[in-house]
């Protein structure tokens, strides 16, 4: 009978910790989004300085994953991607929408100026998202673990 309490307690703690991990998923997704957007900007700047392929060819050569990869594919096909990401704030969505609206518009000199100006902003947003994902991810895991322990203490 005692072993059943240990097993049940372990399962409850594991379940609550899993819930904490899943709750922190939005911060990991945000980190991935801005990291890939920063990478896209760096690659596009290099492309503007040297090869100058058309945007469709350039984006087809880049391999992005997750929500950002889906966004790039939507942009490739329709030039009007959907902004359905709940983990982005309104200003972040506006910044990303403006960024994508400028992609491939105008001459290379004006694009080079615009995307160079965006480089620092994107780098900072990427760093902030990484820091937030690390801090909040750990916090949510610990809260899940503690909630599981509290539940086990109260019930079992």
Instruction: Report the distance separating Cα 56 and Cα 109, nearest Å.
Output: 19
Instruction: Examine residue 69 and state whether it is found in any structural domain, yes or no.
Output: yes
Using 50, 70 and 90 to split pLDDT, how confident is the model at 152? very high
pLDDT band at 134; cut points 50, 70, 90: very high
Of residues 27 and 59, more confidence is placed in 27
Inside any domain, residue 98: yes
Residue 5, in any domain of the structure: no
Structural domains of the chain, count: 1
Which range of residues forms the domain containing residue 93?
Answer: 20-155
Beta-carbon contacts of 125 under 8 Å, excluding residues fewer than 6 positions away, are: 34, 37, 38, 92, 95
Establish if 4 belongs to a structural domain: no
Q: Using the predicted structure, report yes or no on whether residue 57 has a pLDDT greater than 90.
A: no
Is 30 contained in some domain?
A: yes
Q: In this predicted structure, what is the pLDDT of residue 70? A: 84
The pLDDT-based confidence of 112 (bands split at 50, 70, 90) is: confident
Report the percentage of the chain scoring pLDDT > 90: 44
- The answer to whether residue 15 is domain-embedded is no
- Report the mean per-residue pLDDT for the chain: 87
Burial 51-80 (b: 16+ CB within 10 A, else e): eeeebeebbeeeebeebbeebbebbbeeee
Asked if residue 10 is part of any domain, the answer here is: no
What is the four-CA torsion angle of 80, 36, 94, 20, rounded to 10 degrees? 110
pLDDT band of residue 143 (cuts 50, 70, 90) is very high
Window from 28-32, 59-63, 114-118, 129-133 with minimum mean pLDDT? 59-63
Query: Is 58 contained in some domain?
Result: yes
């Amino acid at each position: 009978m005692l072993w059943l309490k240990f097993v049940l307690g372990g399962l409850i703690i594991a379940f609550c910790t899993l819930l904490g991990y899943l709750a922190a998923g939005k911060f990991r997704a945000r980190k991935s989004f801005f990291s890939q957007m920063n990478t896209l900007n760096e690659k596009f700047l290099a492309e503007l300085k040297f090869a100058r392929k058309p945007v469709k060819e350039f984006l087809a050569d880049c391999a992005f994953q997750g929500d950002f990869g889906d966004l790039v594919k939507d942009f490739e096909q329709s030039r009007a991607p959907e902004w359905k990401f709940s983990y982005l704030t309104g200003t972040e969505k506006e910044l990303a929408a403006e960024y994508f609206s400028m992609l491939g518009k105008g001459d290379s000199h004006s694009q080079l100026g615009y995307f160079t100006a965006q480089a620092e902003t994107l780098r900072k947003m990427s760093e902030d998202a990484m820091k937030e994902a690390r801090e909040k991810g750990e916090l949510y895991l610990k809260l899940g673990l503690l909630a599981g322990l509290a539940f086990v203490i109260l019930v079992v």
